[in-house]
A and B are shown apart, each in its own frame.
Chain A
Amino acid sequence: MQLFHPTTIDEAVALLAAHDEARCIAGGQSLVAMLNLGLLDPPALVSLRKVEGLDRLTRHADGSVAMGAAVTQAALASTDLPGALAVLSEAAQQVAHPAIRNFGTVGGALCHADPAADLPPAFVAADARLTAIGPDGARSIRAEDFFLDYLTTALAEDEILTEIRLPPPPPGSVGAYHKFARVDGDYATVSVAVALTLEDGICRAARVVLGSCAAQPLRLDAADAALADTQLDSDAVARAGALLQDSAEPLADMRGSADYRRRIIPGLVARAVEAARARSEAPA
C-alpha cells in the first residue's frame, strides 16, 4: 500500500485516476479502523491532509453555508448554524466521541456512506449540495442522490468530494437530530433528522430523514407532505411516522431486529419533530 500526499485537488484526482482501487483518506477515523481489521487493503491511499482549503467552513450573509470536505466533525459540532441547519451541528455532536470528531471529517463521513452514521441523514434533511471534482471538472450532487447503497455513493472512482453547500435556510426554519443508540457514541439503532419551516405555528415545509432504516438515509415525499400545512398535531406526526415506518427496510443486527427498528420509528419521529418545534418556541 502506498500513501500519497497531494497538495492540490487536481493532483489528488490524478493520483486516484492513476491507481486502480485507490482510496482517499481524510481523518481516517473509519478507514484506518477498517485497515486495522483487515477489511480493506487498498493498493494506494491518497491523503487529503495537505490539500489547501478543504477545512474551511464559511457562513454567508444570506444564511447559506459552505464547508470544505475536510472540515472536522468537531468543528461542525461547535458551529452555531442558522435555522434548520442546526440539524447538522446537532448530528455532528453525536458522532462517536470527542477524540474521533477531532479528526473525523464531514466529507469522510459522507463518503463512507454508512447508513447507521449520523451525518448522512442530517445532510439529506438540510438538502445539502455536494461538490465532486473529477478529471472532467466539478459537478454538484444533491445529498439525497449521493447515497446509493450501503457504503456506496454516487462518486466515480476518480472523483473527490470537495465541498458541501447548504442553501440558505428559510426564515422560521428549525432543525433537530434525535438519535437512539444502545450506548452513547454507538452507531444509531434508529436516528431521525428533521428540518421544518414554521410560520405562526403552521409547518410550511418539512424534511424528515431516517438513519439506520434502509441502505441509505430514508426520506419520503409523502411523509414530508403529511406534515406540511399542519400544526404538527399528533395525528399528522403519527401519519408521517407511519408512512416512514411502512417504507423502512432496516438491517437486522446486534443493535436490533428490523422489526424492532420499524416499531420505534413513529415514536422517535414524534420526539424529533417535537425537539425541532420546541426550538422555534425557545427564545433565540
Chain B
Amino acid sequence: MNILAIDTSNYVLGVAVIKNREVVGEWVTNVKKNHSVRLMPAIEQMMRETDTSPDELDQIAVAHGPGSFTGVRIGMATAKSMAFALNIPVVGVSSLEVLARQGTFFKGLICPFFDARRGRVYTGLYDEEMNVVMEEENIDMKTWLERLHDMKQSVLFISQDESAFREMIEQELGERAVFPGAAHRYARPSYLALSAMKKPASSLHTLMPNYLRLPEAEQKWLRQKEK
C-alpha cells in the first residue's frame, strides 16, 4: 500500500511517501513561500527519490483544512486531480488532527490551534488516543480557554502561533498548560498519511476543504440580511 501525503494548508509545505506502513520519504519546509510553485516539484522529487512512479500509488492523503483558504485549495486541487487521474481513493484529514499527532506521547488532552486573527483561533481538542474530545471550530481563544479550564486536565498546546497566545493560555490554565519544543509545533505529512490509513476513503467529488469560516462577502451579506 503506497500513500502520497500532501499538506499545504498552512505555512508548512509537507509531502510524504509511505510504503506498507513505512515512512520512506518525508519533506517539510516552514517558510512563507508560494505553495503553488513549490508543491509539484516537491512531489516530483519525493517520488523520484523513493523510486515511486505515479501509477504505483494506491492512495492520496490530503490535509483539508482549516488553514489558509488558498493554501488548502492548492493541496486539495492537486490531491483530488491526482486521485481522479490515477483512479485511486483520496482521503481528507483535518489539518488540526495532523498537528495534534505531534503530541502522540503526551498523557492528557491535546489542543492544536492556528491563529485565525482578531483573537480567534481554529482549534479542536483530542485525547491521547486521538479521539475527538471537542469538535474543531473557529472560536474566540478566551472562550475556548474557559471551556478547557473547566475540564481540569493537563492540556498540550501545539501551534506555530504559540507565542501570540502563550500568555493568555498560562493565565487561564496555569500549570496545566503544557508546551512542546519547537520541533513539535509543525504538522508532519507522515502523520497525515498514517491518519488517513485509519479513515474510510472520501468520495472524490464531495471531498471539500473545511474552511471553518464563511467568505468575508457572505458574512457581510448575512449581517445585512439580519438587519
The reply to whether chain A is a binding partner of chain B is no
**A: which residues have CB within 8 A of B?**
none
